[in-house]
Amino acid sequence: MSETIAVAARNVGKVFGAGAHTFTALGDVSIEIEKGEFFTLLGPSGCGKTTLLRCIAGFETPTTGTIELSGRDITHTPPNKRPVNTVFQSYALFPHLTVAENLGFGLKMLGKSRTEIDTSVARVLALVQMQAFADRLPQQLSGGQQQRVALARALAPEPQVLLLDEPLSALDLKLRKEMQGELKRLQIETGITFLFVTHDQEEALTMSNRIGVMSAGALLQVGTPHDIYERPVSRFVADFIGETNFLEATVEDGGVRLGSGDVLAVPPSGRTGTVTLAIRPEQIKIGQDGLSARVVATTYLGTDTHYTLALSDHSTLVARVQSNSGADLKPGDAVHVTIDAQSVQVLAT
Amino acid sequence: MSGGAHGRSKGLNGWLLSLPALVLLFVAASGPLLIVAVYSFLEKGDYSGVRWIFSGDAWFRVLFEKDIFDGTVSLADANLSIFWRSVKLSLATTFITFVLGLPTAWFIATRAAKARAIWLFLITIPFWTNLLIRTFAIMEVIRNQGLLNTALINLGVISEPIQILYTDTAVLIGMAYVYLPLMVLPLFAAIDRFDMRLIEAGYDLYASRWLILRRIILPIIKPGIVAGCILVFVPSLGAYVTPRVLGGGKNMMIGNFIELQFGQGQNWPLGAALSMVLLIVVMGALLLYTRVSSRDDPHG
Amino acid sequence: MGKRRFDVTTLPGFTFIAITAFVLLYAPIFTLVIYSFNGGNSVNVWGGFSLKWYAIAAQNEAVQSAAIRSVIIAVSASGIATTVATMAALGTTRRGRFKGQTAIYIMINQPLMVPEIVTAVALLIFFSSIKIATGYTGLGYLILAHAAFCVPFAYLPIRARLEGMDMTMETAAADLYASPWQTFRYVTLPLLMPGVIAGAMLAFVISLDDVIITEFVKSAGQDTLPTYMLGQLRRALTPEVNAISTVLLALTVVILTAFFLITRKRD
């Protein structure tokens, strides 16, 4: 099994500071990332995702636990001895070196020959389509170009794992979209394992094979983008990824009873007593039958319109409806809604 | 970053890397000061140097003198007048440089970015120019056949040149001239950080220009004012070159008086004791400055 | 009055005083420079433009040897000061606070705090006893003394440069397989270089200009340009001194201009 695992963290904990002033950045995190995978660590800032990345890169030493690379324990190996490279959030391009010198830096430190270096530099320059900029200095490049150079520099030594620390956060929206596609293409072309860190859920959903959602130093859920979006295991995951309505309910035979008295025939969850339902706005349909509700507010968003609806017990739901669907509702209108019970997630309160 | 034993090794590296600088400074700057302290408690030698016998005589003679015939003790008037002149001239220098320096620093700080860099550069050139050369330059202006007297005679304001050179006035003009940049630079740094929108707020709340200067600007840039005053007062008090060149030997300040003890005066212990007095006064002023600046610094 | 734009940053009389201050600062320096080109024999009467005093100064053997001595001392002292200051800056910057750091700062900045005349007297006492004990009276004492008071001037710009440096550069180097020494050699040092050059320049200027400590430490026949000029003054101010002053002044301006261009380029 371990032949397919590129990098693994086993019971990794990290505590910063000493004495009375300590901060636990990582609790007890275990994760296995498979070879050739595009894996994303997703979470809000301060959740520990960057700390985990830095532990794998070797910039931090875990307080507890071990880091393995292809089955080999590298917990105490210094960063310059790990076949792992990083694309930094700030790019960290050496300002005194040209693009080509930046790209060749890692290979030069590894003691490769001049010709080997030149060949590799030419290869990665072509990979990111920056051949025309080989002799420029980093400050003569635009943000997007610097990003490509940073990427190429980390790819040049052909690492076993490429670590990407929020590399797109400094780019504007249009460029960011472009680079998302570019990153995915590079990952498939090179076959290198990518470990990507971001706080942007959309970025995570579009690029990854698998996502690990983190919060407060703990790994909450690991799964495919589809799993994470459709079957969040906790209220935090459901709330962090996409928009979600939360409703209190009690479990009964054959379903759950809402505060409004209505019963929803959700699939059996094994939970009893009071639960929280997670319902995506697109899973709520406004029509002629179903639960009675009243429109409280409408928000026009272009393609879609959001309707905030109040049920009979005054609990509120947001429904997303395509703007051109003809349903032109106003605050105060009485409506009926149906909820796709099969897609409702039943979570612990 | 990660504390514990790691932090200790960082401290060790810090000390090891700093060691060559510390050794150099101990051998050729701080260490010899200890010898001066020791010398101030020894007996004076016959010609120069010291005799290795403990004596408080040098410290006694900083302020007092004993009549060689009847042994009566009185204040050393000559010494006191030198101390008084040093303090008086240093305070006056500080005052003049402040009056000229505040508007100059304000002017520089309120220019547009490019022009400001040039004006600032114009202030730093005299700052880095040899003190001796600047003293020569002011001497050219104030001597009897110099620029000032020649101009005044040609304009018919005076008929005989005014004797400025070799007076206290010459020393004062010279010190104000050479130490002006030392006042301007810290004032500039303080004004540069000053938020000009506060002035707009002041006008908005019906303050006059004078009230804005006195009640808003001056209190906020006070750390810069204190820094500038200390930076001018301290070297003024220990000035040697300017009073020597412009004071002409008889208008001595403490610095020249100390040198005299190692030259013609041939009283090394007294010179050492005077050096210690100067050092203590200067350290006191600097201590006062760190107290005031750490209390007033709005950035903590 | 209605026509003048109301500028909140203008205070009454400030601009006038500021311009006056600049005129007062530069008028004496210009006078000195102009009179160095005086063709006459007296400093009092203008005798037409001439480079004669520069020629006289250049042919004066005492001036020649003083100039060479000044340069030897300034080069050696700024070299030593910059080396130890670079090491100290690396030791005291960007590694978090450690025990005794304040003591190191105070020690390094000591020459900026202690009146120069006091240090001069201290060195006179100390070195004169060593001169007697060892019999060595060479330039070593002056170089050592100059190196010591140059340290803070070299240290401050280097430290400023280090503090402004992005630490992820070194992290990136380590990530790209550079050992700690390679990281220093290929990343830290090249990035630090503008600060080192700036520090060396300031140290050079400070050493070249020194009067007081040199005057007290020098042995017989060890005049530098400033002490030579001070010695000349005992008789009368000569146009020759003006000429030497102008050369030194020009040198200072050139070095300072270079210094500003180097430190500004950092962005």
Residue A316: its H or E element: strand A316-322
Asked if A287 and A327 touch (Cβ cutoff 8 Å), the reply is no
Query: Per the domain annotation, does B70 fall within a domain?
Result: no
Chains that touch C (3 or more CB pairs under 8 A): A, B
One domain for residues B96 and B221: yes
Rounded to a whole number of angstroms, the distance from the CA of A204 to the nearest CA of chain C is 24
Task: Give the pLDDT confidence of C35-67 residue by residue, as tens digits.
Answer: 888 887 766 677 788 888 899 888 989 999 999
Query: Per the domain annotation, does B21 fall within a domain?
Result: yes
Query: Per the domain annotation, does B46 fall within a domain?
Result: yes
* CA–CA gap between residue B220 and residue B213 (Å, rounded): 10
Which residue matches tokens 């590298």?
A74
Mean of pLDDT values over C178-189: 93
Global pTM value? 0.82
One domain for residues B52 and B107: no
Of the candidates C169, C171, C176, the beta carbon closest to that of A109 is on C176
Query: B25 contacts in C (CB within 8 Å)?
Result: 107-108, 110-111, 148, 151
CB contact C176 to A (< 8 Å): yes
What is the pLDDT, as a whole number, of residue A2? 56
One domain for residues B89 and B33: no
CB contact B298 to A (< 8 Å): no
Amino acid, single-letter form, for residue A146: Q
One domain for residues B186 and B276: yes
What is the pLDDT, as a whole number, of residue B188? 93
Of the candidates B125, B184, B238, the beta carbon closest to that of C118 is on B238
What is the pLDDT, as a whole number, of residue A336? 87
One domain for residues B230 and B120: yes
CB contact C190 to A (< 8 Å): yes
- Strands A193-198 and A161-165 come out as parallel
* CA–CA gap between residue B69 and residue B80 (Å, rounded): 22
Chains that touch A (3 or more CB pairs under 8 A): B, C
One domain for residues B180 and B266: yes
How high is the ipTM of this complex? 0.88
| Residue ranges making up the domain that contains B146 | 75-296
Asked if A345 and A277 touch (Cβ cutoff 8 Å), the reply is yes
Q: What is the CATH number of the domain that holds B161?
A: 1.10.3720.10
Question: Is the pLDDT reported for residue C265 higher than 80?
Answer: no
Position with higher pLDDT, C2 vs A332: A332
Which parts of chain A sit beneath pLDDT 70? 1-2, 326-327
Rounded to a whole number of angstroms, the distance from the CA of B5 to the nearest CA of chain A is 10
Amino acid, single-letter form, for residue A243: E
CB contact C8 to B (< 8 Å): yes
B3:A60 CB<8 A: no
Residue among B2, B8, B10 with most chain A CBs within 10 A, to mutate: B2
Instruction: Determine the residue of chain B that is closest to C14 in CA distance.
Output: B103
Query: Per the domain annotation, does B114 fall within a domain?
Result: yes
What is the pLDDT, as a whole number, of residue B297? 52
Tokens for A254, please give them.
């054959």
One domain for residues B224 and B173: yes
What is the pLDDT, as a whole number, of residue B299? 47
Task: Give the pLDDT confidence of C68-113 residue by residue, as tens digits.
Answer: 999 999 999 999 999 999 999 999 887 777 788 888 999 999 998 8
Direct distance between the N- and C-terminal alpha carbons of chain C, in angstroms, rounded to an integer: 42
* CA–CA gap between residue C226 and residue A123 (Å, rounded): 61
Asked if A194 and A183 touch (Cβ cutoff 8 Å), the reply is yes
Asked if C213 and C119 touch (Cβ cutoff 8 Å), the reply is yes
One domain for residues B110 and B36: no
State the greatest distance between any 2 C-alpha atoms of chain A, in Å, as a whole number.
76
Query: Per the domain annotation, does B189 fall within a domain?
Result: yes
The percent of chain A in helix, strand and coil, each rounded to the nearest 5, is 30, 35, 35
Rounded to a whole number of angstroms, the distance from the CA of A171 to the nearest CA of chain C is 19
Asked if B294 and B226 touch (Cβ cutoff 8 Å), the reply is no
One domain for residues B44 and B143: no
Rounded to a whole number of angstroms, the distance from the CA of C6 to the nearest CA of chain B is 11
What is the pLDDT, as a whole number, of residue B6? 44
One domain for residues B152 and B52: no
Of the candidates C169, C175, C190, the beta carbon closest to that of A85 is on C175
Task: Give the pLDDT confidence of A45-83 residue by residue, as tens digits.
Answer: 889 999 999 999 999 999 999 999 998 999 999 999 999
What is the pLDDT, as a whole number, of residue C43? 67
A94:C177 CB<8 A: no
Which parts of chain B sit beneath pLDDT 50? 1-7, 298-300
- Of B34, B63, B92, the one marking the end of a domain is B63
Task: Give the pLDDT confidence of C202-237 residue by residue, as tens digits.
Answer: 899 999 989 999 999 999 899 999 999 988 876 567
One domain for residues B80 and B25: no
What is the pLDDT, as a whole number, of residue A312? 84
Mean of pLDDT values over C123-148: 93
Residue among B133, B172, B199, B257 with most chain C CBs within 10 A, to mutate: B133
Asked if A74 and A58 touch (Cβ cutoff 8 Å), the reply is yes
Chains that touch B (3 or more CB pairs under 8 A): A, C
Instruction: Determine the residue of chain C that is closest to B231 in CA distance.
Output: C113
Query: C172 contacts in A (CB within 8 Å)?
Result: 86, 88, 92, 94
Query: Per the domain annotation, does B97 fall within a domain?
Result: yes
Residues facing residue A246 across a β-bridge: A278
Looking at the structure of chain B, the number of domains it has is 2
Query: Per the domain annotation, does B69 fall within a domain?
Result: no
Interface B–C counts its CB contacts (< 8 A) at 268
Task: Give the pLDDT confidence of A199-235 residue by residue, as tens digits.
Answer: 998 899 999 999 999 999 999 999 999 999 988 888 8
- Buried b / exposed e along B162-191 (16+ C-beta atoms within 10 A): eebbbbbbbbbbbbbbbbbbbbbbbbbbbb
One domain for residues B164 and B19: no
Direct distance between the N- and C-terminal alpha carbons of chain A, in angstroms, rounded to an integer: 37
Asked if A208 and A39 touch (Cβ cutoff 8 Å), the reply is yes
Asked if C224 and C216 touch (Cβ cutoff 8 Å), the reply is no
Query: Per the domain annotation, does B68 fall within a domain?
Result: no
